[in-house]
Structure 1
């Protein structure tokens, strides 16, 4: 069990903690680059090595395989697109190569049940897994302003906070799978806001209102819940 106080298994620090990253698309690449800029040693795995060029140019190293990434990392971040890819790459490839005490952080928007399965499988190897999908889009990833929804052991999430703080604001949601459940609920809210915004714009147009003036006018009122700034997140990992 992780020690309280966020010291599992040793304090996180750029000089001590080896980071592995799998999934370096628009979101993953931006997030990994922030960790590199913060001084962490980051090793990346990419099925298409040429996609890692920009990260390698700022100090990342390239792992030849997921197994090599696993064996040389203390904390491994994954953001790899589809739940089926998570199942194949994490459960079948990454987990069997982990050293004890390694922590996996899965930022992929996935299924709560799969997150719980990964958590249980990690525990069998004396490791931990945190499901931590994010919201905020590529701009939030670049600026370190993502909302991070974390599920898993509270002590481990607290231990990981120095890393999460570089990426955004971590919100502990509860046991394994709760981070993924929160992301699903978040997307329901986003979808509802988009529907309301779309219907309002259609009505405004039919009423002969200028669209830009309408949005500016309602931004300061009760309808100004940032709905006009929401962009449906297209996961490009």
Structure 2
């Protein structure tokens, strides 16, 4: 297929390389042309505007920071909407605000094209290795038709009508934030109470306590870098969208709101450019406990 891919950031850059390796023709677009070096070396073409990336494409992917950015990419000057037309499909992988997702999809369909929201989870190693998880909302027949291409980047789960992919992604991030906060509290409590950290970690990776966060993310705490591949700025953006979705649904979500406050404190204490797991460092610092642990830890974004 001929694919336009707009947004070559932390996840979009490595994920889109898998489409090229899978035999598809890519035209890529980003604010920073330097992010496209690997893509261009593998035969991709460069587009200086989103509209240029749309021209001649069967599928147009977007994967940008958040609602403000995706709105500009679609509706701005030389945006996607200025060039998209019948027979084309727009797939948005941005973690977005559900109402905006539905509105932009309506704009795209008014041009005769189809729209799918398919935000992802799975961290940078998932993007690099083609095993992200994609939550797809929109026309099911379109998702099934494009599934072989989409699955080059990872598993695709069809969630329902437009917007359900985004809602599922927000729910996924909601659980991750809760798990990350709880992981810090549990490990710090165990260590301060006399359990050796290696033993505590092994025990809390099994049974009722098991979580992806404990397996995948704890080593970033042990190394002391707290995973800079996803910043506290991004966490606060996502948590704002999550709380907004809770408000729209009319749910109490008291734990989610407490966790949002903990991330806000981490953001204020350490800075928005610091790694997401500084929410765990809050607990370490308050208790006077260090969760550093020697080991042959390979950062997940290098796997």
Asked whether the two chains share a fold, i.e. TM above 0.5, the reply is yes
1:185 corresponds in structure 2 to 171
1:216 corresponds in structure 2 to 202
Q: Distance in 2 between matches of 1:26 and 1:58?
A: 19
2:230 corresponds in structure 1 to 234
List gaps (5 residues or longer) in structure 2.
218-226, 235-303
After the TM superposition, list the runs of 4 or more consecutive aligned residues in structure 1 that deviate by more than 6 angstroms.
Answer: none
The residue correspondences of 1:198-213 to structure 2 (distance < 5 A) are 198-213=184-199
TM-score of the two chains, using structure 1 as the length reference: 0.88
1:9 corresponds in structure 2 to none
The residue correspondences of 1:49-88 to structure 2 (distance < 5 A) are 49-88=33-72
Q: CA deviation at 1:99?
A: 2.7
Comparing both structures, which one devotes a greater share of its residues to helix?
Answer: 2
Note if contact 2:63-2:92 (Cα within 8 Å) is conserved in structure 1.
yes
Residue 17 of structure 2 is aligned to residue 26 of structure 1: no
List gaps (5 residues or longer) in structure 1.
1-16
Q: Distance in 2 between matches of 1:35 and 1:53?
A: 15
Question: Matched residue of 1:69: which SS?
Answer: helix
Q: CA deviation at 1:230?
A: 4.5
1:7 corresponds in structure 2 to none
Q: CA deviation at 1:80?
A: 1.2
Q: CA deviation at 1:56?
A: 0.3
Number of aligned positions between the proteins? 220
Note if contact 1:190-1:230 (Cα within 8 Å) is conserved in structure 2.
no
Note if contact 2:191-2:200 (Cα within 8 Å) is conserved in structure 1.
no
1:121 corresponds in structure 2 to 107
Q: CA deviation at 1:105?
A: 0.6
TM-score of the two chains, using structure 2 as the length reference: 0.69
